[in-house]
Chains A and B, each alone.
Chain A
Amino acid sequence: MRHIISILVENEAGALSRVAGLFSARGYNIESLTVAPTEDPSLSRMTIVTTGTESIIEQITKQLNKLIDVVKLMDMTEGPHIEREMLLMKVIAKNSMREELKRVTDIFRGRIIDVTDASYIIELTGPGAKLDAFIQAVDPALILEVVRSGVSGIARGDKTLRL
């Protein structure tokens, strides 16, 4: 199963490599990993998307918790949550294709944020699956470049990941 695990880690040099090293040393999958500082400058928040059987996910959460730099952990997938990822796509946009690309972008509630006479840059936010679908929907011959931010997640309701 696919899990989104969010952790608060000490904002120390080396914290990221401890987390990444754990995954590679123990052979766990990482689909994506994002990290950025939080409103508390002493903490960073990481979001890891991983897959594995229940027992592997259990081990992953335990091993992460065991890292001295990890302050708090939440498996988003255990409850209702919101998942978002951002995608930027540069496409060839000439003549008749321009209309078509604009339409597909609108359908996915994306935005065109840069325009030249031969290209667009499209911005799209949503769960990973939606971004996948969007990429599928665009003619691959037109895609010049795709960049995805990796997943962020947050629990719905009053459940929070904070100190």
Chain B
Amino acid sequence: MELTGAEIFVRCLQEEGVEFLFGYPGGAVLHIYDALYQQDKVKHILVRHEQAATHAADGYARSTGRPGCVLVTSGPGATNAVTGIATAYMDSIPMVVFTGQVPTALIGNDAFQEVDNIGITRPCVKHNFLVKDVHDLAETIKKAFYVATTGRPGPVVVDIPKDVSAHRCEYSYPKRVSMRSYNPVVKGHSGQIKKAVDLIMTAKRPMLYTGGGVILDNASKPLTEFARLMNFPITNTLMGLGAYPATDPLFVGMLGMHGTYEANMGMHNCDVLIAIGARFDDRVTGNIEKFCPTAKIIHVDVDPASISKNVKVDVPIVGGVDNVLKQMIKMVKDSNERPDPEALKEWWKQINEWRGMDCLKFDRTSEIIKPQYVVETLYRITKGDAYVTSDVGQHQMWAAQFYKFDKPRRWINSGGLGTMGFGFPAAMGVQLAHPDETVCCITGEGSIQMCIQELSTCRQYALPVKIINLNNRYLGMVRQWQEFFYQKRYAMSYMESLPDFVKLAESYGHAGMKIEKPGDVEGALIEAMKVRDRVVFLDFITDQHENVYPMIPAGAGQNEMILI
């Protein structure tokens, strides 16, 4: 059957089982919008800014494991989407972004709303395609989904010129694609895994350090099994929170710049480090020269280029985290060797001593609302079962420290790129994917204003996202750095002329609450959770001068934390 490119596009998305397409129309994609209009399988969500479309698709992807989908027009539509594409790229989130392009005959002519979208997005996508001929469209879309979702996932851009969406051709959707130049390794090399297990058996002070890769590969179960089987302490990166239950005694908290004392000291003093689906980011390692000075390192990652990139490792294992963990578990179970139990006992004693420092303590008697208290109360009220997105700044760190995630895919934040403005649109994607669940966006008055226009989208689709605004009237994280490292010269970190967030929310038809006393925090949260048909904007007026502790200052090692 002959179909237009636009019709083919829609059919392909249906074949891929795409539920939601986040987008914004414009000239170059009008044929496609017309085809979308004439069907009801793929639901289009109209955002208010293309950046939000990418973040929403990203939130959908992170919370479900399925690829997020975006459709934007050429030129400004595409450039607005770039921040969200880069955000997804840094965190390896599967996403397919369709951008309109000017007709093929005009490409390169500085036509109206033309940008070199392939060129602009090249460094921040896993791959991108320009479709020059309608005959290639279906296969390209198939490839795009395949590349985005396999191996180390990531965003893929498909640029579709307007004439391609108008031209007709015979349609059939390929069942499978294979690409000779793309064959991600899934199965870990058993020889390497054996080496790793042998090394693990010699450990006296082992440490499991796991990241977002565990979540991306849905490997929480084998990870949990492995840690418990070995009785090893485990820390998660910011991206890896929820991969291991945070309330489990083996869990020592998040590591890194604002990680716990016990996690960072454990890293610094361990003798065998087992890194799984983590990438030795500079926010984790601190000064690389001082990183894990006494450890032999095992690194499991699906991306060979991640291995020995920042830190030279002793036993590299390329493979899917799930597959490798399962092989490891089997080898351990089949072996009658175990690490020295006495040494492990000593190690745990040491770790519990570090734990005793209670590095996340904060003033509980304050008359002013402490941001930590808000997150802690939110955790309690939602029974630890909410989906929590965040923006970037102090509130993000407090969310990571004080909300204890026991399940994967519940904690959704921009760890790699650190994109302010991510949290709220991401929460929309999460809420659409999980209409009956509680979705909270923990944010700051700086970040929330970067995509505040999405209040309108939430109204249109009746999305009951809870905005937890930790309002300190400062770009808090910037202010903290200025306090510590710039002698309190608070250059441009004070947020003046803030709107009345309650009225703002109400003007969109949502609910708003302003909370100024610690005694009102719990009640407000309980009240907010009851609202199911609109956003509740909770504007918590918090302590302006609160800082995030512990902190590893730039250039310091993991054992050189600033504690409160």
* A contact residues vs B (CB 8 Å cutoff): 9-10, 13-14, 17-18, 21, 25, 55, 58-59, 62-63, 65-66, 68-71, 163
Q: Is the CB of B122 within 8 A of A69?
A: no
Cα A136 to Cα B304 in complex, Å, equals: 43
The answer on a CB contact under 8 Å between A68 and B127 is yes
Enumerate chain B interface residues (CB-CB to A < 8 A).
118-119, 122-123, 126-127, 130, 147, 179-182, 303-305, 307-309, 312
Q: For A10, give its contact among B118, B123, B181, B304 (CB under 8 Å).
A: B181
Chain B residues, CB < 8 A from A25: 123
Q: What residue of chain A has the Cβ atom nearest to residue B305's Cβ?
A: A62
**Quick one: closest B residue to A62, CB to CB?**
B305
Report the minimum CB–CB distance from A157 to chain B (whole Å): 25
Minimum C-beta distance from B159 to chain A (A) = 11
Shortest beta-carbon distance from A45 to chain B in Å:
14
- Identity of the chain A residue whose Cβ is nearest the Cβ of B309 in the assembled complex: A59
Determine whether the beta carbon of B180 is less than 8 Å from that of A66: no
Q: Are B147 and A68 in contact (CB under 8 A)?
A: yes
For the A-B complex, the count of residue pairs with Cβ-Cβ distances under 8 Å equals 37
Return the contact of A17 from the options B119, B304, B305, B309 (Cβ within 8 A). B119
B304 with A21: CB separation less than 8 A: no
Contact B130 A69 (CB under 8 A): no
Which residues does chain A contribute within 8 Å of B127, judged by CB atoms?
68
Do A59 and B305 touch (CB < 8 A)? yes
The answer to whether A21 touches B123 (Cβ under 8 A) is yes
Interface centre among B122, B182, B305, B308 (most CB of A within 10 A): B305
Report the separation of the CA atoms of residues A123 and B179 in the bound assembly, to the nearest whole angstrom.
Answer: 41
Contacts of B303 on A, CB cut-off 8 Å?
66
Complexed CA–CA distance, A13 and B132 (Å): 11
- Chain A residues contacting B182 (CB-CB under 8 Å) are 68
B304 contacts A70, C-beta separation under 8 Å: no
User: Which of B180, B181, B304, B312 makes the CB contact (< 8 A) with A55?
Assistant: B312
Q: Say yes or no: A69-B181 contact (C-beta < 8 A), given A18-B122, A21-B123.
A: yes
> Is B130 a contact partner of A14 (Cβ separation < 8 A)?
yes
State in angstroms the CA–CA spacing of A25 and B122 once bound together: 11
Given contacts A55-B312, A62-B304, A63-B305, contact A68 B126 (CB under 8 A): yes
Given contacts A55-B312, A65-B305, could you give 4 more A-B pairs where the C-beta distance is less than 8 Å? A58-B308, A62-B307, A68-B126, A68-B182
Whether the pair A68, B181 counts as a contact (CB closer than 8 A) is yes
**Nearest-CB residue, chain A, relative to B122:** A21
Cβ contact within 8 Å between A163 and B123: no
- Docked Cα-Cα span, A163 to B181, in Å, equals 10
Cβ-defined partner of B180 (8 Å) among A21, A62, A63, A71? A71
Nearest 5 A/B pairs, CB to CB: A62-B305, A71-B181, A68-B127, A66-B305, A62-B304
Query: Which among B179, B180, B312 is the interface contact of A163 at CB below 8 angstroms?
Result: B180
**Contact at A65–B304, with CB atoms within 8 Å?**
yes
In the complex, A68→B122 CA distance in Å? 12
A9 CB contacts on chain B under 8 angstroms: 181
CB nearest neighbor in A for B307: A62
How many angstroms between the C-alpha atoms of A10 and B127 in the bound complex?
13
* Chain A nearest Cβ from B304, distance in angstroms: 5
Q: How far is the CB of A43 from chain B (nearest CB, A)?
A: 10
Which residues of A lie under 8 Å from residue B307 when comparing CB positions? Answer: 62
B130 proximity list for chain A (CB < 8 A): 13-14
Name the B residues within 8 Å of A68 (CB-CB).
126-127, 147, 179, 181-182
Query: How long is the Cα–Cα vector from A25 to B119 in the complex, in angstroms?
Result: 13
**Given known contacts A69-B181, A71-B181, A163-B180, A17 and B308 CB-to-CB distance under 8 angstroms:** no
**Which A residue's beta carbon lies closest to that of B181?**
A71
Set of chain B residues within 8 Å of A59, measured between Cβ atoms: 305, 309
Q: Give the docked Cα–Cα distance between A124 and B357 (Å).
A: 72
Residues of A within 8 A of B179 (CB): 68
**Which chain B residues border A18 with CB–CB below 8 Å?**
122
- 9 A–B contacts from the bound complex (CB under 8 Å): A9-B181, A17-B119, A18-B122, A25-B123, A59-B309, A65-B305, A68-B126, A68-B181, A163-B180
